[in-house]
Amino acid sequence: MGANRLPLWVKPMVFVVCLAPFAWLAYQAFAGGLGPDPAEAILASTGVWALRLLALTLFVTVLRQWLGKPWPIRLRRMLGLYTFFYASLHFLTFANFYLGWTPAILAEELLERPYITVGFLAWLLMLPLAVTSTQGWQRRLGRSWRKLHKLVYPAAVLGCIHLFWQVRSDVTEALVYCLIFALLLGWRARVWLPAKKV
């Protein structure tokens, strides 16, 4: 097998690893292991895993550039879709347990709580990325596909703001995530800006 090819076992392994947090969360829910506030536990877990997988999705490009090989890119779609999966679970948990599926309450929360507003905007930015993640959409959109998928960068920024603004006391974890995303986006800008000048 060539050095530029992805071993057959890698994608199934990544699929299982990405699904594991959801499986563990589901197990805890059925076993009554989510503590006194299950909704808050689900909300926190899905939000954190959405951010972690978004960071891994952005890291794929960095890894490809470091290695000088194309195979890491073949994992990006799966990681991106899992990011949207956990972000959607995060939003659906909030809509179910905190909003009761009431649009009027959602509108009120969006107006009164900025951290909810930026989190919702981050999810909205990821929605078209998930819908157009297939090769068919890539062919239909052509060059516009790459431009559209640059929405992942503002989505990452909004995700960090969403996390930071809702912290009530210890901001350490939020700062760590902000630093990770700053490094990832900074690396991308470092590569992108010289290309724009040429």
Phi-psi sector, 100: left (phi>0), alpha (psi -120 to 50), beta: left
- The whole-model pTM stands at 0.92
Q: Which two tokens stand for residue 72?
A: 């890491």
Taken in order 1, 19, 126, 140, is the CA torsion positive or negative? Answer: positive
Q: Residue 127 in contact with residue 84, Cβ under 8 Å?
A: yes
Query: pLDDT 10s digit of each residue in the chain, 198 long?
Result: 455 677 888 899 999 999 999 999 999 999 999 999 999 999 999 999 999 999 999 999 898 888 888 888 999 999 999 999 999 999 999 999 999 999 999 999 999 999 999 999 999 999 999 999 999 999 999 989 999 999 999 999 999 999 999 887 788 999 999 999 999 999 887 765 555 554
Domain ranges of the chain: 10-197
